[in-house]
Amino acid sequence: MAKKAASKAPANAMDYPEHEKTYDIFIKFSIWTTVACIVLLVAMAFGFFGGGGLIGGTLAFIILMVASYFAL
């Protein structure tokens, strides 16, 4: 069996700035995933029930994603 190299850092040492960066990335990803799901549902509703069809639904999705980029 290979021996583990002895670390000079204590066992409970944590890299808090790295944890905070990872948490910020996770929060941003979660927000954009939620926004994308909501925009997709609205665009699908417009395409199916609003008479927009495939092209109208796709355009609605693109326009709403751009608008949400500037809103957030």
User: What's the pLDDT score for residue 18?
Assistant: 87
Domain extent, residue 53, equals: 37-72
Query: Which secondary-structure segment (H or E) carries 40?
Result: helix 16-49
User: What's the pLDDT score for residue 8?
Assistant: 72
On whether residue 62 sits in a domain, the answer given is yes
- 40 burial via Cβ count (<10 Å: 0-12, 13-18, 19+): middle
On whether residue 44 sits in a domain, the answer given is yes
Digit-coded pLDDT (tens) for 12-71: 677 888 889 999 999 999 999 999 999 999 999 999 998 889 999 999 999 999 999 999
User: What's the pLDDT score for residue 50?
Assistant: 87
How many structural domains is the chain composed of? Answer: 1
